[in-house]
Structure 1
């Protein structure tokens, strides 16, 4: 007695087992997180050091270099890139995927602190921050007012709004963008200073000496303590105006006499606009472990409460919500899930022709999909786009085993046996093939579960969810389905009705197949030759098919990065981003747009174009990208590039193609090679836009000091440096308190007084004798063109070529072209590397090829163990190249590309197509053993008998993925790619398998005793 007999003879037991599977799974659903992707930790640790007024060369040599040398030995680092610009050193340490960021952050912080003493004493302390996930915030909220200034809005947000948002569960940071905090601005007047005999150095000294934060301590008596507060600092604009700078011959020179004092902004080098109007943004960034959907939901609940505390003139508006794409994608997948279920039910009915027969496989769908949720919860998985996609594919898989069971039992009933006897006999016959198919399909995903890198991190949950659902369906097919067959199925006595019509058509098809198979088996060499051609063609099809990391998705958002000439300031930039606004506003698909001027540097801007919902527009973001780029190319004053954000959670920023040249040579030599590479890339026709981050167009005023003459005049280099820094750098001298918060005090010349080198001639330096000496007496000026930023990659001088591919080209094609051209151009000592998404693509490379090969080996070994033979698994495996060839054909003609979704589809095909071979070979072996048939007769009969379940399971799977192929809206591209591979591969592969497997069986299999 086989174990299946127990469940047929004890129907209550079979029912209870299934109910328990369903109930435990149902309870687990409500405990599963809902998110876009499985948890993936991409962390960047940034070390930002400012030294206002310092040149890029000084920043690189004295700040960037010692810090990055120190931190480079920290564990878990993938790569380091740095930029040194005027007054700013920025080092980005990119950690390896899923490396413990807390450990790395502590290690990096310790190494930065170890070299703090080596940095210039006037440089500000390095600020170390950690960013995990996308550089784009999950939610942006705009604040604008016709009555309030930027600093006033910023101050209100910092005092009222930011603390409330940062207290929301799951929020890592609520960053204020676009506005600047208040600062006490001391606008120096060089003419008044010269007339009154005051130097910039003396102004700075007066500020430091007379606005001093003191900690006076306490008075302690025998029984009492009295705290002391000494008013040694300044608190108001008037107090700063009245500050005595100097006393000359009994006359007090006050700050208002030599400068204009105002409560202004800490910086005037950035601004934000939303739909053309100025405002201030708050960007909400969730903590890495939090669910962004939950975080954004919680923030949205807090926003109405915050609005009550805002003045009437301040308008609050949600600008961008990244979770709209996530929610839309998940809703579309759920819709696809329902559509696939309906299609599979219809397909089963059309093949079986009886509602009684259909009801049995249908039951396995909810039992398997709900039941697998308990395993997902136990493994710590979530409901995300990939696990939902696994469930869509599982619909066609989980009915397979039940279909095979029902078809086999129904066959025995039609032969005249009672339903109970048919169930007992049919379940015994089919138990081993069902177990074999279940184990095989589960085993095919084991290699994915062992994969590393981004693909492994993303698709581990997909693979194990799909495998677990198949295992659950196998359990249901061997416990509940035979019992239901014994109770529900009956022998149809009459020759009328839809079921009989279906049986008649299948009998006709079966006879035609038997005749065709008999003919094919007479021409075995032709079949072998055909199979060999298919096998070889798979290799060439794979080489010739376009490749990329992931298909392009319409995320409802496009980013625009604009750069003005390196001499341009934010006012120049605002003029041209206004033109970008005008271009974007003419598109009907636009919902809103914004600009962040002064993003990263004063001559760069980041703009965002937010589209209407997917159902409210006809053109996709990908179609509009090229059209908008042509419009942006017409703006003469800036270079603007439009691109989509990464389609996978890589944590990368910037354009899709980022190709790095690095060398030990100087930047001018590197620049010449990069210019040649850019020229070739532009001529190739592969890219919409091409640019690099290295150019010699930033004007730099070099002040040459005649040190001998300065010494003769009694002037020190320190006095010169201090005076220039006070007037020009914009560095703060100290802090002052206003309403319980600290703000910077910044002395500086107004823009009008530092617009050209001649203005510096009004500067006076006090010599050792106490006399004022004009700066022009001992300096000369020379203007040169230098890079605005000195960049390094892995501690080598570097230049990065950034590009956006043409819509018809893939990033892999672009990167391969750049690699080939760089090899021709690079001299000795220069090499190339990759950054951003391009680096992820190169690292992932053909990792799935190895996984594919591993999956084949695992399947072969599993089958060998089950069949106790190495020949039979080899026969079954001949079906694999048939399916892979069928899948690669539509990819090769441009219907899709080879990417991580199609590669996962190819691996899935291995398990799907081998099920057909298992059904035929296992039954043929049984016929040889029981009925003493010869090899050829056995395989012909086995193929004929198993034709119906093979076609049924194929049709259920192929038609079940049709909703994936015709999908539209959010996340449609990924669903389409995996759907087209499975549909084409399984359809073509099944047609070939029906003839190739029987032929190979007659050639390779041994006679079974």
Structure 2
């Protein structure tokens, strides 16, 4: 017994099975996680190493390069980048999507151990690593404000209590605290007072180290008790240090307060954070790879309220950025779009069939198929995201097609006088091959995507699988539930429709049908002209594919912007702080901006150039700001330009961010060379040329090699005569200017430091180094300054036990430039150019402009260029587009050939595709939309949708030839005349199913719109042309079949 006969014979069992599918799907919908896109987190591991005081070039040569040699040998590494700045190196390894991250971590640990022998001895701690993506933005930013507590005290609250609490939340990967530093005791030294008292910087450091000790003291056992020993060997506050005796000179004690100001401050005073225009300490929370956005943020919000209530009364904690607000709004928008689409599809079916009883069996497939797909999504561990919901929305337009074909054929038989039960069984069996061909060939379109690797395959696999499942569920329903309902509901024609809209639609359809039959006869009478039209559309496809703008992924308006303030490389911290305040004021004055959070000083990462500040901007909801993120950035650029000596580069935060390197704009192009000096020479020329190009905006580079440098050129022989090795001079310089942590204060919740340096007000003078003195060996100094030495020379040595030698007498000072940052990609020196696209320009236009400017720059062949991040994804997508189309066509041809047992008739069906391609490309061009991955999926869907028309015609014509002996011409004409209604209905249903995506607005519309535009445009053009070209193609193919089917006559 067939599935159709069983369903008709057992209506109760069929209904209960359908109910079970619905209940399972509804239960799954409550359990499915929600996310912006499918889980395609890149396996990225970051390695950091610190060697305080080392120059960027030293870090690159002695730390980054040895590590890169070992790390580059790890299997599965697709990209390796490094950035070396003052005292730190950061290396980012990106692995293949299929690489096991735990295994990669073990390999990294082994590589670091192998490289340890090649690393400098001054690197006291081994490099560390953790799973994270530097290009990822936080999902939540919290800010702490207080009118009474200092920034150091706020930082202490955040670091000691809040950071650990948030890190314990399931799904949280990293919690960073920035905008200030931990409290510390700062010793700000008065260099002239040091010389006057005959005390060296090393004397101060030794005294501070000795004055603060926390070691074991033991215990005393008395006869009947034990006493644990404690001592006041720890000095905790600045006041405890002021009376510290540093040295004795001429029998008098020199106390610390005599030569320095001792203050309760922070470890690093060169950190500053702003949120909502107020000084703030920020907590940035990142999710673990694979964790669900919305679930993690819900847990964070649930914990925030009790934590905020437990804080001191004068501390305010506020969530200043929540990345999921726009994600939730976007999902709500597409869910609303899905509901509207379902209602539109049902309305179109009703108007087309003109009978409520016939509408119900066809329409019931829509919700049941969609709900059933949710159950399979849960089993496959998918999520409700923009792509899966988009798949369900677009599926609504053609999962009903199978049921329409079945219902229309059954209704036609009932109207012809057959009993409903017999008509349902015979009618469903008659079109079953057609329905099977339509569904399987549509699913076949997505088979290449299901087996495609890389970012495109991983991203679109969930879309393709969800859509395929919905189609297959609808196929089963169409040959089971739909015939069963028709056998119970349809009972002959009920007479002319009474509702005026139905009467109008009937008259419109009849007029359209008569016009089509007349024009069809004209097309069949002139097959050459019609076939030439088909060939012209094929050629037009190739032309349009060449000229259409191409991109990677639609640029989203996520309501979040990430920015970087890049100032002159010689700027001071105070100057940078002033620029930060100016830019934040400009941002918060814009009516579309809700808040801005910024940090200066690299407190969220190890090191980094001092002239770069990090900024994250939250825009107002889309319905309040009335302007897109691109429009807001465009109107802010002239205002930013008025701030001299610094630039602010903004980019919209995207759900898909490829690569492990951050940039100042959305797209990156990296210049590589094994000759660093040559790279530094040509990179600025290329950047300037690109800034003049109208295709790009916000062009900048990470080239940081113009920082000011003051070199201390030591006279080693003279220093040696005073018994001063180079290390003594280096230590003195570090004591004076390195914010050196010389002692540790142990507290129950944390450890704090004592920091020493020359007072900031004395560092700002041009004579700072001239006032620096070094304690020399007394015996050596007496040998140098003999009695015969001049009085001026002997005055250098005072009566102190350790004579004070001015640094200026041991070295000269040369000013020059120095790199603030050295970058590598792979094993090559790298400079990355970041850029955004000008309005109306595509990534393909940018690629052409960059290639042209590099060619004109005269850069030598040793300098190579590659796209990075999302721009690299664009290149991969561009290379895969022809492959995707060719693979889809091949698979569809194979499936149709198997179903029809013919090599030629699949060509008739595939002849419908050129017109759909023309329509899609023209629609994208007319709407100014790029041919992105999403639009390409629309083109692939058209391959599956528009061939349904040809399948309906070819099936009917072949059946008429076989059963009734009609000629090919008569068979195809009758097929066009008889099957015009189901073809029109299925096309209209698919058209209205895609229309809400094409014209939709609201959050996330920019991602959905290319798919809808491509499908609507393709359906409109293909519906007009294929009704004429398909019959002609059928006749030409039939002639070919007869030619190749002839056998040679016997001799």
Matches within 5 A, 1:848-859: 848-859=881-892
Q: Distance in 1 between matches of 2:766 and 2:684?
A: 31
Q: Distance in 1 between matches of 2:221 and 2:370?
A: 74
Q: State TM-score, norm by structure 1.
A: 0.96
Is structure 2 residue 1003 aligned with structure 1 residue 970? Answer: yes
Give the match's secondary structure for 2:409. Answer: helix
Greater displacement, 511-520 / 148-157 = 511-520
Give the match's secondary structure for 2:755. Answer: strand
Give the match's secondary structure for 1:773. Answer: strand
Matches within 5 A, 1:823-834: 823-824=855-856, 825-834=858-867
Say if 1:671 and 1:695, in contact at 8 Å, map to a contact too: no
Alignment-derived partner of residue 545 in structure 1: 548
Alignment-derived partner of residue 1034 in structure 2: 1001
1:231: how far off? 6.1
Q: Distance in 2 between matches of 1:172 and 1:607?
A: 21
Alignment-derived partner of residue 801 in structure 1: 833
CA distance 1:191–1:537, change in 2 (3 Å): same
Is structure 2 residue 709 aligned with structure 1 residue 697? Answer: no
1:92: how far off? 2.2
1:796: how far off? 1.5
Is structure 2 residue 788 aligned with structure 1 residue 774? Answer: no
Matches within 5 A, 1:855-866: 855-866=888-899
Q: Distance in 1 between matches of 2:593 and 2:749?
A: 43
Name which of 880, 883, 887 aligns with 2:913. Answer: 880
1:344: how far off? 0.8
Matches within 5 A, 1:244-283: 244-248=245-249, 250-283=251-284
1:268: how far off? 1.8
Q: Distance in 2 between matches of 1:459 and 1:221?
A: 77
1:587: how far off? 2.4
1:294-338 alpha-carbon deviations (Å, 9 max, x no partner): 111111112221122112211121101000011000000000011
Q: Distance in 2 between matches of 1:584 and 1:234?
A: 45
Alignment-derived partner of residue 441 in structure 1: 442
Is structure 2 residue 693 aligned with structure 1 residue 672? Answer: no
1:803: how far off? 1.4
Give the match's secondary structure for 1:585. Answer: helix
Alignment-derived partner of residue 77 in structure 1: 77
Alignment-derived partner of residue 789 in structure 2: none
Alignment-derived partner of residue 602 in structure 1: 610
1:588: how far off? 2.1
Alignment-derived partner of residue 657 in structure 1: 667
Name which of 618, 622, 637 aligns with 2:630. Answer: 622
1:225: how far off? 9.3
Greater displacement, 946-955 / 742-751 = 742-751
Say if 1:53 and 1:730, in contact at 8 Å, map to a contact too: no
Matches within 5 A, 1:211-360: 211-215=212-216, 233-248=234-249, 250-360=251-361
Alignment-derived partner of residue 108 in structure 1: 108
Q: Distance in 2 between matches of 1:658 and 1:775?
A: 45
Alignment-derived partner of residue 746 in structure 1: 755
Matches within 5 A, 1:418-817: 418-492=419-493, 494-495=495-496, 497-498=498-499, 502-503=505-506, 505-599=508-602, 600-650=608-658, 653-654=662-663, 655-667=665-677, 669-756=678-765, 758-768=767-777, 769=779, 770-817=802-849
Give the match's secondary structure for 2:78. Answer: strand
Say if 1:341 and 1:395, in contact at 8 Å, map to a contact too: yes
Q: Distance in 2 between matches of 1:526 and 1:777?
A: 97
Say if 2:413 and 2:423, in contact at 8 Å, map to a contact too: yes
1:561: how far off? 1.7
Say if 1:41 and 1:98, in contact at 8 Å, map to a contact too: no
1:502: how far off? 4.6
Q: Distance in 2 between matches of 1:356 and 1:718?
A: 94
Q: Distance in 1 between matches of 2:567 and 2:153?
A: 29
Q: Distance in 1 between matches of 2:135 and 2:564?
A: 17
Alignment-derived partner of residue 795 in structure 2: none
Matches within 5 A, 1:74-223: 74-97=74-97, 99-125=99-125, 126-132=127-133, 135-215=136-216
1:247: how far off? 3.8
Give the match's secondary structure for 1:727. Answer: helix
Say if 1:41 and 1:133, in contact at 8 Å, map to a contact too: no
Greater displacement, 545-554 / 759-768 = 759-768
CA distance 1:683–1:781, change in 2 (3 Å): same
Alignment-derived partner of residue 363 in structure 1: 364
Q: Distance in 2 between matches of 1:933 and 1:2?
A: 30
Alignment-derived partner of residue 1023 in structure 2: 990
Q: Distance in 1 between matches of 2:544 and 2:48?
A: 48
Structure 1: any 5+ residue segments left out of the alignment? none
Greater displacement, 215-224 / 240-249 = 215-224
Is structure 2 residue 54 aligned with structure 1 residue 54? Answer: yes
1:168-207 alpha-carbon deviations (Å, 9 max, x no partner): 2222222112121112212222122212222112222333
Say if 1:419 and 1:489, in contact at 8 Å, map to a contact too: yes
Give the match's secondary structure for 1:791. Answer: strand
CA distance 1:665–1:16, change in 2 (3 Å): same
CA distance 1:802–1:220, change in 2 (3 Å): farther
Give the match's secondary structure for 1:699. Answer: strand
1:719: how far off? 1.3
Say if 1:269 and 1:569, in contact at 8 Å, map to a contact too: no
Q: Distance in 2 between matches of 1:430 and 1:846?
A: 40
Say if 1:728 and 1:748, in contact at 8 Å, map to a contact too: yes
Greater displacement, 728-737 / 134-143 = 728-737
Name which of 920, 925, 929 aligns with 1:892. Answer: 925
Q: Distance in 1 between matches of 2:225 and 2:96?
A: 58
Is structure 2 residue 63 aligned with structure 1 residue 30? Answer: no
Alignment-derived partner of residue 943 in structure 1: 976
1:446: how far off? 1.2
- The number of equivalent residue pairs is 1008
Alignment root-mean-square deviation, CA:
2.4
Alignment-derived partner of residue 955 in structure 1: 988
Greater displacement, 287-296 / 87-96 = 87-96
Q: Distance in 2 between matches of 1:757 and 1:589?
A: 45
Greater displacement, 395-404 / 238-247 = 238-247
Give the match's secondary structure for 1:308. Answer: helix
Alignment-derived partner of residue 382 in structure 1: 383
1:399: how far off? 0.8
1:705: how far off? 0.9
Say if 2:142 and 2:318, in contact at 8 Å, map to a contact too: yes
Give the match's secondary structure for 2:1022. Answer: helix
Q: Distance in 2 between matches of 1:222 and 1:515?
A: 121
1:398: how far off? 1.4
Q: Distance in 2 between matches of 1:44 and 1:134?
A: 10
Q: Distance in 1 between matches of 2:985 and 2:221?
A: 93
1:755: how far off? 2.3
Structure 2: any 5+ residue segments left out of the alignment? 603-607, 780-801, 1047-1051
CA distance 1:127–1:612, change in 2 (3 Å): same
Say if 1:632 and 1:641, in contact at 8 Å, map to a contact too: no
1:244: how far off? 3.6
Q: Distance in 2 between matches of 1:213 and 1:505?
A: 94
Say if 1:70 and 1:111, in contact at 8 Å, map to a contact too: yes
Is structure 2 residue 931 aligned with structure 1 residue 921? Answer: no
Say if 2:145 and 2:279, in contact at 8 Å, map to a contact too: yes
1:229: how far off? 6.1
Q: Distance in 1 between matches of 2:526 and 2:100?
A: 61
1:711: how far off? 2.0
